[in-house]
Structure 1
């Protein structure tokens, strides 16, 4: 379970979220909705330890801090909406890039299986072998995407 407790997110001196509390259960798909500038991307960037925050973020009882963010990134994959992919990669390969900090020269069967499961849960498994350069803008991304791996 991913848990946010009294989370306040800051971009410089601007507070973009204040005292946010939420729980995200394993096996469920969640959407974060709001108007432009509401802090959706900031929240996801914070989960990936890219923005300063106050409060507590925990995943499976491990608390995120800037001192452990490299280990944390191995458990959370994040694909920002403004990612520009100019290489001929399949959609599956792009999803796997979300695991960049834990990828080696050889992909494990488990990494591929988990990425395919995430794609299936999002209803995009049919795009797995499609070249990302041939997908429409909406098929490439409809906002930031973040997923947690066990």
Structure 2
């Protein structure tokens, strides 16, 4: 098991933002974390990596999170936050290379695969032609892809990404989901928060639906993205269909009150 959380709770101002969440992510899974704004998704993801203080327990590869050094955590899980800002004039190649830092520190042998891994990560995200550009000159979508490449270069068994498709055009959104699927074939896993229910239905192997700080459904996309759940959690109606051998879900209107 790459990630396990037990009774994870985050309180702020006497209110539970995340309330008693249990979840697991095994090898070869693309787990989509879905739910409306304010459901607690971002807070949960930050608690899972120790950025946000929480009660309960988190285990990375069966090791308690609190017992791992920052460097050890960074070798087990890469985190891509919502914020895609890069405020300093650093070359794109150097930004992506930051993903190799956990493997350089405390290693007397160096990081011999560094150059190849960085090149492969950039190629996966289609940013190799931007290598010599400074990051502060990039568009929002380009910055997002560069930061995803940095996370890929970290070469961790688990990647956690918070709304990584935000700011990407449809082609790059689909391309990113294809990259995530390719990681599964390498025995790695991805936990990704998504607002696009169509992408979640079509690409994820499993979905975790949150509402009000808790998990309301966890299972295969077809079992989670039901008309009843969409009405109860999102307050919407949706079209359900199939195309090119996969599911299609498109929100159509607000549910009658």
Pairwise TM-score range, normalised by the shorter structure = 0.5 to 0.7
- Identify the residue that residue 91 of structure 2 maps to in structure 1: 89
TM-score after normalising by structure 2: 0.43
Q: Does 1:6 pair with 2:11?
A: no
Residues 88-127 of structure 1 show CA distances to partners (whole Å, capped at 9, x for unaligned) of: 332x6434435655544x972445666667777xxx5312
Larger Rg: 2
1:138 to 134, 141, 162: 141
Q: 2:4, 2:25 within 8 Å by CA — same for their partners in 1? A: yes
Q: Please state how far the C-alpha of 1:75 moved relative to its aligned partner.
A: 2.3
Trace 1:45-124 onto structure 2 (pairs within 5 A): 45-65=46-66, 67-70=67-70, 71-85=72-86, 86-90=88-92, 93-98=94-99, 100=101, 102-104=103-105, 108-110=111-113, 124=124
Point out where structure 1 has 5 or more consecutive residues left out of the alignment: none
Q: Which has the larger helix fraction?
A: 2
Point out where structure 2 has 5 or more consecutive residues left out of the alignment: 158-257
Residues 40-94 of structure 1 show CA distances to partners (whole Å, capped at 9, x for unaligned) of: 22122212212111222112111112x534232342222322253122332x643
Distance in 1 (CA, whole Å) between partners of 2:55 and 2:41 is 17
RMSD: 3.7
Q: 2:5, 2:48 within 8 Å by CA — same for their partners in 1? A: no
TM-score after normalising by structure 1: 0.67
